[in-house]
Amino acid sequence: MPNEVLALEKVNLRVDEGELVAIVGGNGAGKTTLLKHMNGLLKPVTGTVRVKGKPTTESSVAELSKQIGLVFQNSDHQLFSESVKEEVAFGLRNFGFPPSEVEERVARALNAFGLGQMSDRAPLTLSGGEKKRLCIALVTAWDPIVLALDEPTVGQDHLNKVRLLELVRRLIRDKRTVLIVSHDLEFLWPLQPRTVVMSGGRIVADGPAASIFTNFELLESSGLRQPQLARLAVALESPSPFRDVDEAVAWLREKNGPWSSGSQTAFGKG
Amino acid sequence: MEFNDFSFTYAGSTKPAASHVTFTVGEGDVAVLAGLSGSGKSTILRAINGLIPHIYPGEYSGSVKVEGMTVQETPTYELAKKVGFLFQNPENQIFMFTVERDIAFGLENMGYDPKVIREKTDWAMDLLGIRDLAKRSPSELSDGQKQRVAIAGSLVMDPTILVLDEPTSLLDPHTALEVVRLTKELNKRLGLTVILVEHRLELVSTIASKIIVVKDGSIWIQGTPQEVLLSDGLEEVGLSLPPVVEVQRKLGLKSGGIALDVEDFVKEVPRLWR
């Protein structure tokens, strides 16, 4: 980094087309720095970063941005137009989409994220959650080959997280490549992504979510907290992690507990 | 703090952002405001320190009282002496060149004696564990550190009420838990009344004395965490329930209360398995 802080060190990472990869770690682990190397905002001091086989040092940020759609962590850093629809249209025009296609893509993006009614609003008057949705909408509008989301659930309420989860699932079904930088393991858990754990600028683990998210020591030492369902599974000595609430309930009902007979035993009372 | 039939429509808008809001937060309470994005939570917070109606014009009805002062009739600088306000993004309220200058800014503006400014600034930095950051530029700090600087800047003004707008939203889980614990500690040590907006109820349900759920600008339900988390129709409001609470609700474990975190639930399970 320009201030001579070693932000990334000996990072080896390959992401294949169509993969869903979560990059997790505490604040300052190097996750955002890693993302910024993918769209050329940062260039490596040693080693190489390649997108579709081509080193990022041989492409401009503009060329890379069309391929790597990056949604910033701080929405205020990504919004500057006079209206919501102009915000979405800006990138499309810059990438040379014809006017009729710009209009169609803007409408589709706004509707997909529940922003259709706000198309004339000034982006800076939106709530924090609405701004985040707008940033995701504008980046998905030009269909980049990789969608990179930097802490997408920050400031999002439950419904927006559900929408986001559904969007990611749709992208996976469409065989898009999706990178999610997040410390929101509760959000990531149902997606069961390949998970890369970063700490102190290094990759400290890389594997399936089921093994990473249940490794308490690894998560704690990396500034993360196990998802509640993973903690519950470990605490109850379940042979496998609970993917969702229904799985946890089904497992508990199989046990010979009072709830299996439908009793309403007062919790905490004898 | 008392909201009495408070309603507000922003200038230029046709739809009320807050509608007939009535609730009280007692001295020393920790109240959590929850609800979907755009439900009116920020509007309610702004009505506490007087940003509404003094900075955000609009149509105002009902009343809001803070420490006996009627907000609508009290200038913001008077309210600022009682109400410390933390924005969602601490960068929006940190602007001086060093941490200690930023913390001292409010006191300097109020014309405090330099000796008092020094003492209060040192006290706040010690309380928040950021004395070693005193000469650092806030722009170099981590999000969690910035959050502490913002809190320190509020505390030096001796507020009796601390308002936090999604204080953990930018923080990683460890730092988020630290801020939540710090908030509870400030509540206990200084007797501060706290009202905070938080989506992640699993973080705050164990420290809250009251949860107020807002929907479409109105209060949908309010009560203790037990009362709110056991109530019907929470899906309709789009609240993100802690998974361990959802598990207990689906198991039908309602009467007498539920455990609010994994550790408490797991402690009880062997006793309930006969």
Please write the tens of the pLDDT for every residue from A253-268. Answer: 887 555 554 444 433 3
ipTM, two decimals: 0.71
Give how far the C-alpha of residue B190 lies from the chain's centroid of Cα atoms, to the nearest Å.
16
A2 — contact with chain B (CB < 8 Å)? no
- Nearest chain A residue to B39 by CA: give it: A127
A221 — contact with chain B (CB < 8 Å)? no
Identify the pLDDT of residue B7.
97
Phi, psi dihedrals of residue A101, rounded to the nearest 5°: -75, -35
B residues 67..86 contacting A (CB < 8 A): none
With both helix axes pointing from N to C terminus, report the angle between A128-140 and A158-173 in degrees, rounded to the nearest 10: 10
**Strand order across the B218-223 sheet:** B83-86, B161-165, B193-197, B30-35, B210-215, B218-223
A235 — contact with chain B (CB < 8 Å)? yes
A residues 35..54 contacting B (CB < 8 A): none
Identify the pLDDT of residue A174.
81
In B, which residues are within 8 Å of A248 by CB distance?
243, 247
Tell me the whole-structure pTM to 2 decimals: 0.78
- Nearest chain B residue to A155 by CA: give it: B169
Among A82, A182, A87, A97, which Cα is nearest to A136's?
Answer: A87
Question: Chunked in runs of 10, what are the mean pLDDT values of chain A (270 residues)?
Answer: 65 91 88 88 88 89 90 88 95 94 94 88 83 89 91 81 85 88 89 93 92 89 86 86 89 71 39
A residues 251..270 contacting B (CB < 8 A): 252-253, 255-259, 262, 264-269
The answer to whether A179 and A147 have CB atoms below 8 angstroms apart is: yes
Identify the pLDDT of residue A265.
41
In A, which residues are within 8 Å of B266 by CB distance?
232, 235-236
User: How far B57 CA sits from the closest chain A CA (Å)?
Assistant: 14
- Percent of chain A surpassing pLDDT 70: 92
The answer to whether B7 and B61 have CB atoms below 8 angstroms apart is: yes
Identify the pLDDT of residue A262.
44
Question: CB-CB: which of A186, A255, A264 is closest to B254?
Answer: A264
The answer to whether A168 and A180 have CB atoms below 8 angstroms apart is: yes
Beta-carbon contacts of A227 under 8 Å, excluding residues fewer than 6 positions away, are A185, A186, A188, A189, A213, B243
- DSSP, residue by residue, A90-105: HHHHHTT--HHHHHHH
Contact: B243, A27; criterion CB under 8 Å:
no
Q: Is B33 exposed, middle or buried (0-12, 13-18, 19+ CB in 10 A)?
A: buried
Residue in the structure block whose two tokens are 């308002």: B163
Sequence letter at residue B16: P
Distance from C-alpha of A81 to C-alpha of A91, rounded to nearest angstrom: 11
A residues 89..108 contacting B (CB < 8 A): none
Among A160, A211, A149, which Cα is nearest to A23's?
Answer: A149
Per 3-state DSSP, what percentage of chain B is helix, strand, and coil (rounded to 5)? 40, 20, 35
Identify the pLDDT of residue A268.
34
A157 — contact with chain B (CB < 8 Å)? yes
Question: CB-CB: which of A25, A183, A236 is closest to B269?
Answer: A236
Residue B207: which region, alpha, beta or left (left: phi > 0; alpha: psi -120 to 50)? alpha
B198 — contact with chain A (CB < 8 Å)? no
A155: tokens are 């400031």
B38 — contact with chain A (CB < 8 Å)? yes
Among A251, A23, A116, A92, which Cα is nearest to B250's?
Answer: A251
Contact: A27, B142; criterion CB under 8 Å:
yes
The answer to whether B223 and B210 have CB atoms below 8 angstroms apart is: yes
Identify the pLDDT of residue B171.
77
Tens-digit pLDDT string for chain B (274 aa):
999 999 999 988 889 999 999 999 999 999 999 988 788 998 999 999 999 999 999 999 999 999 999 999 999 989 988 999 998 888 888 999 999 999 999 999 889 999 999 999 999 999 888 999 999 999 888 878 888 899 999 999 999 999 998 888 777 777 788 888 888 998 999 999 999 998 778 888 889 999 999 999 999 999 999 889 888 888 777 777 888 888 888 888 765 577 888 888 888 776 655 4
Interface test with A, best of B141, B142, B178, B199 (most A CBs within 10 A): B199
